[in-house]
C-alpha cells in the first residue's frame, strides 16, 4: 500500500521584482488567541476571523531572501527555537531551496523581536547562523533593546523574550553591524522606517525597473482583523498609537501607489495587494505562478 503524505514540501516561493528575485521562505506558524489584541472589540475581531473561515489566530512567520546584483540578503531570520515547535524552519527551508547560509552577505532586520531575530544565532554553540553576513537594522532597535533602564521597567516576559533574547541573538554580530536611519541599505532596497510596533520597526522597499515590492514587516499581525479595524494593535506594540499611525500611513501608501506587498505575518507566501474599502481595507493574495517570468 502506498502511504499517504503527512508533511508539506518545505515552503519556498519566488517572485520577480524587475531584475531582482525575492524568495519567501516560511519559518512556520504560531497559533494563539486574540487576547493579545488591543484597541479592538474582541467580539468583533472574532467575528471577522470566523467570517474569513479562520476560527482562531494562526500567524504565519515568513522571511524573505533578496537576490540582487549578484548579492543575497535575507530580511529577518524567523524564530529559531524560542517560540513554538510549529515554527523555526528557516534553516531547513533555506536548505530545501538550495541556499547556503554562507552565501548570504546581509541580514536586514525589520526589528528585534524573537520571531524575527531569534534565527540569527545558534545558542547551543554561540555560532552565527549567517556566518558571512553583515547585520543591518534601524539605529533605534539596539538603542532600545540594549537599554538597561528600559529592561528594568519591562515585565518578566518581555524582559526575557524581547530584551534578553534580542541581545543574545544580536551580540555575536556586534563587530559586523551597520545601523541606519533611512535610505538605500542594499542594492535596490530602501529602508522605510515605520516606527511604533518597536522603536526602530522598518519596512523595506524593493525596487527594480518599474516594479516595486514593499516588505512591510509587522504592519499587521492578524491580517483579517487589522485590515478591517486598522487601529487594532497588539499587546507587544512598544507604542500602540504610533504603531496604529504607521499602519494607516503604510496602508494608504501601498493602496495609493498600488504597490505589491509582502509581510512577515501575511499568510504564506505573503505576496498580496491591499485595496481601500471605505474606512477599512481588503487584502488580496496574489495568484500563484510557476514560471517567474510569467508575472
Ligand atoms: Zn512579528
The angle subtended at Cα 294 by Cα 289 and Cα 295, nearest 5°, is 75
For 33-70, write each residue's pLDDT tens digit.
999 999 999 999 999 999 999 989 999 999 999 999 99
Task: Say how many Å lie between the CA of residue 145 and the centre of ligand 1.
Answer: 15
CA of residue 29 to ligand 1 center, whole Å: 11
Instruction: Say what the pLDDT of residue 294 is.
Output: 80
Work out the burial of residue 163: count CB atoms within 10 Å of its CB; fewer than 13 is exposed, 13-18 middle, 19 or more buried.
buried
Helices and strands counted in the chain (H then E): 9, 18
CA of 51 to the centre of ligand 1 (A): 24
Residues 6+ apart with CB under 8 A from 103: 72, 132
pLDDT in tens, 159-171: 999 999 999 999 9
Distance in Å, CA 115 to ligand 1 centroid:
5
Ligand 1 midpoint to CA 81 (Å): 15
Q: How far is the C-alpha of 134 from the C-alpha of 146, rounded, in Å?
A: 19
Q: Is 76 left (phi over 0), alpha (psi -120 to 50) or beta?
A: left
Q: How far apart are CA 157 and CA 199, in angstroms?
A: 18
C-alpha cell at 17: 521584482
Alpha carbon of 60 to ligand 1 centroid (Å): 9
pLDDT of residue 136: 99
* pLDDT in the model for residue 1: 87
* Gap from CA of 1 to ligand 1 centroid (Å): 43
Q: What's the pLDDT score for residue 148?
A: 97
How many A from CA of 113 to the centre of ligand 1?
6
CA of 25 to the centre of ligand 1 (A): 15
State mean pLDDT over 262-267: 98
* Strand ranges (E), the chain: 12-17, 20-32, 37-38, 57-68, 71-75, 106-108, 121-122, 127-128, 134-138, 177-180, 183-186, 189-193, 202-208, 211-215, 233-234, 260-262, 272-277, 280-285
Alpha helices in 97-183 (DSSP H): 114-117, 140-145, 148-153, 156-158, 165-170
Please tell me the distance between residue 45's alpha carbon and the centre of ligand 1 in angstroms: 19
Q: What is the pLDDT of residue 293?
A: 86
Q: How far apart are CA 247 and CA 244, in angstroms?
A: 5
Contacts of 143 (CB under 8 A, 6+ apart): 199, 200
Q: What angle do CA 239, 245, 246 make, to 5 degrees?
A: 85
Q: How many CB atoms within 10 Å of residue 169?
A: 26
DSSP state of 264: T
Report CA-CA distances (Å) from 181 to 16, 190, 195.
Answer: 27, 11, 11
pLDDT interval class at 194 (50, 70, 90): very high
- Please give the distance, rounded to the nearest whole angstrom, from the Cα atom of residue 216 to the centre of ligand 1: 11
Residue 29's pLDDT is what?
97
What percentage of the chain exceeds 70 in pLDDT? 100
Report the candidate in 234, 113, 108, 129 with the shortest Cα–Cα distance to residue 167: 113
- Average pLDDT of the residues of the chain: 97
**Per-residue pLDDT at 295:** 61
For residue range 86-115, what is the model confidence (pLDDT) as tens digits?
999 999 999 999 999 999 999 999 999 999
Q: What is the pLDDT of residues 129-154, one digit of tens each?
A: 999 999 999 999 999 999 999 999 99
pLDDT in tens, 1-10: 899 999 888 8
Amino acid at each position: 500500500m502506498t502511504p499517504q503524505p503527512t508533511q508539506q514540501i518545505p515552503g519556498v516561493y519566488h517572485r520577480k521584482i524587475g531584475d531582482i528575485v525575492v524568495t519567501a521562505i516560511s519559518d512556520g506558524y504560531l497559533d494563539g488567541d486574540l487576547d493579545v489584541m488591543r484597541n479592538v472589540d474582541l467580539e468583533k475581531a472574532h467575528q471577522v476571523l470566523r467570517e474569513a473561515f479562520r476560527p482562531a489566530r494562526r500567524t504565519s512567520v515568513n522571511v524573505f531572501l533578496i537576490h540582487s546584483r549578484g548579492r543575497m540578503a535575507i530580511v529577518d531570520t524567523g524564530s529559531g527555537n524560542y517560540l513554538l515547535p510549529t515554527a523555526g524552519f528557516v534553516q531547513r527551508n533555506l536548505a530545501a531551496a538550495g541556499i547556503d547560509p554562507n552565501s548570504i552577505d546581509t541580514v536586514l532586520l525589520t526589528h528585534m523581536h524573537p520571531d524575527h531575530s531569534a534565527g540569527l544565532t545558534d545558542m547551543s554553540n554561540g555560532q552565527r547562523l549567517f556566518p558571512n553576513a553583515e547585520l543591518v537594522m534601524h539605529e533605534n532597535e539596539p538603542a532600545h533593546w540594549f537599554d538597561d533602564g528600559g529592561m528594568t521597567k519591562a515585565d518578566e516576559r518581555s524582559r526575557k523574550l524581547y530584551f534578553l533574547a534580542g541581545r543574545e541573538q544580536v551580540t555575536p554580530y556586534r563587530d559586523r553591524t551597520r545601523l541606519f536611519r533611512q535610505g538605500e541599505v542594499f542594492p535596490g532596497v530602501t529602508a522605510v522606517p515605520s516606527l511604533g510596533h518597536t522603536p526602530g520597526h522598518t519596512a523595506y522597499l524593493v525596487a527594480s525597473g518599474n516594479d516595486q515590492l514593499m516588505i512591510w514587516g509587522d504592519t499587521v499581525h492578524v491580517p483579517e482583523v487589522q485590515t478591517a479595524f486598522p487601529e487594532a494593535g497588539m499587546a507587544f506594540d512598544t507604542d500602540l498609537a504610533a504603531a496604529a499611525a504607521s499602519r494607516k500611513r503604510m496602508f494608504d501608501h501601498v493602496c495609493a501607489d498600488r504597490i505589491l506587498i509582502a509581510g512577515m505575518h501575511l499568510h504564506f507566501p505573503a505576496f498580496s495587494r491591499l485595496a481601500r474599502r471605505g474606512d477599512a481595507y481588503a487584502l488580496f493574495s496574489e495568484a500563484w505562478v510557476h514560471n517567474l517570468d510569467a508575472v
